[in-house]
């Protein structure tokens, strides 16, 4: 039996395994690099590597894809995506990696709110429930009532909001731009955003750091590719719980490599966020199916 004959859910699980391992590898590489390189410099190297890879693909599939009449949308998408990446790597450097991953789960919550404002999508009851559960989860994870919120946790939270804006803009660009075009402008626009601040405090990477830079730069693209393949093979209600496995995985990695504590409340908060996301997806799918039946 060849992999192509396996059940789609099994193949989706394997692609999700690749996505999770790639994401963990990227987090570990970013943690090590952040000890000596600035976040801006790490993002600059990621953009350079991404631009090289996408350029090779465009050489094969055609540079005509980068023609666009939507440069403004690309700018908004990539400035926000850059902010999201900055918050994510800054968080990886200063707080437990499991906390970073848990807070990142709130991106769909902010996406629902921003889609209502930018795309005019209705804020339905399931989405409102998702928002409420998401905010509850954030409160449990960040615990502002203790009065000891680390600035990096706030940076990750703001980064999650920025990521959600980039997701909404991606949705707006997808009908008029190819995936390669979106990725090309992502690397092209974000390259100077990382380079200019890096020049002021430039640190020349050592030979030992070069593999880590290549790892951090390539794993992001591999993660997105694996996620896309998994979503194509299985429903979101199957893929999202698999994606949730990144939290216990990174928690174990953080405990093993950095002695980071395993916090029960963090998993409770993440479960609230995940539950809200799944409820919203299931309810929206059911509503769409009912409309199709009535039609």
* Residue 142 within any structural domain of the chain: no
Asked, for residue 64, whether it belongs to a domain, the answer is: no
User: Within a domain: residue 26?
Assistant: yes
**Residue closest to 111 by CA, chosen among 98, 125, 92, 130:** 130
Residue 231 falls within a domain, yes or no? yes
95 within domain boundaries: no
Q: What is the pLDDT of residues 230-265, one digit of tens each?
A: 877 777 666 767 777 888 888 888 888 888 888 888
CB 78 within 8 A of CB 166: yes
- Domain of residue 12, residue span: 1-37+203-261
What is the pLDDT at residue 210?
Answer: 93
Cα torsion 225, 230, 232, 235 to 10°: value is -140
Total number of domains in the chain: 1
Q: What is the mean pLDDT of residues 69-75?
A: 91
Specify if 251 maps to a domain: yes
Which is nearest to 33 in space by CA: 76, 85, 108, 92? 92
Would residue 51 count as lying in a domain? Answer: no
pLDDT value of position 45: 93
* Stronger pLDDT, 278 or 203, i.e. the higher one: 203
Determine, yes or no, domain membership for 248: yes
């Amino acid at each position: 039996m060849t992999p192509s004959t396996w059940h789609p859910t099994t193949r989706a699980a394997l692609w999700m395994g690749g996505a999770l391992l790639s994401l963990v590898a990227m987090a570990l590489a970013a943690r090590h690099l952040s000890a000596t390189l600035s976040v801006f410099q790490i993002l600059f190297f990621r953009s350079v590597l991404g631009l090289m890879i996408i350029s090779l693909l465009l050489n094969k599939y055609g540079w005509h894809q980068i023609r666009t009449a939507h440069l403004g949308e690309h700018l908004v998408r990539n400035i926000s995506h850059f902010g999201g990446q900055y918050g994510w790597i800054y968080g990886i450097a200063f707080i437990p990696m499991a906390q970073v991953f848990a807070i990142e789960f709130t991106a769909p919550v902010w996406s629902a709110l921003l889609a209502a404002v930018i795309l005019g999508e209705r804020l339905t009851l399931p989405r409102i429930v998702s928002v409420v559960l998401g905010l509850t989860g954030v409160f449990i994870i960040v615990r502002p009532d203790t009065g000891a919120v680390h600035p990096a946790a706030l940076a990750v939270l703001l980064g999650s909001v920025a990521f959600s804006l980039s997701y909404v803009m991606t949705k707006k660009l997808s009908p008029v731009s190819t995936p390669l075009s979106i990725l090309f402008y992502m690397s092209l626009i974000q390259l100077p955003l990382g380079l200019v601040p890096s020049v002021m405090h430039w640190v020349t990477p050592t030979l030992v750091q070069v593999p880590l830079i290549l790892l951090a730069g390539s794993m992001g693209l591999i993660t997105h590719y694996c996620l896309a393949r998994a979503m194509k093979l299985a429903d979101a209600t199957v893929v999202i719980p698999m994606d949730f496995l990144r939290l216990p995985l990174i928690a174990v990695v953080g405990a093993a490599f950095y002695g980071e504590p395993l916090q029960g409340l963090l998993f409770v908060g993440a479960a609230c966020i995940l539950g809200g996301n799944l409820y919203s997806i299931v309810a929206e799918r059911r509503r769409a199916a009912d409309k199709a039946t009535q039609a």
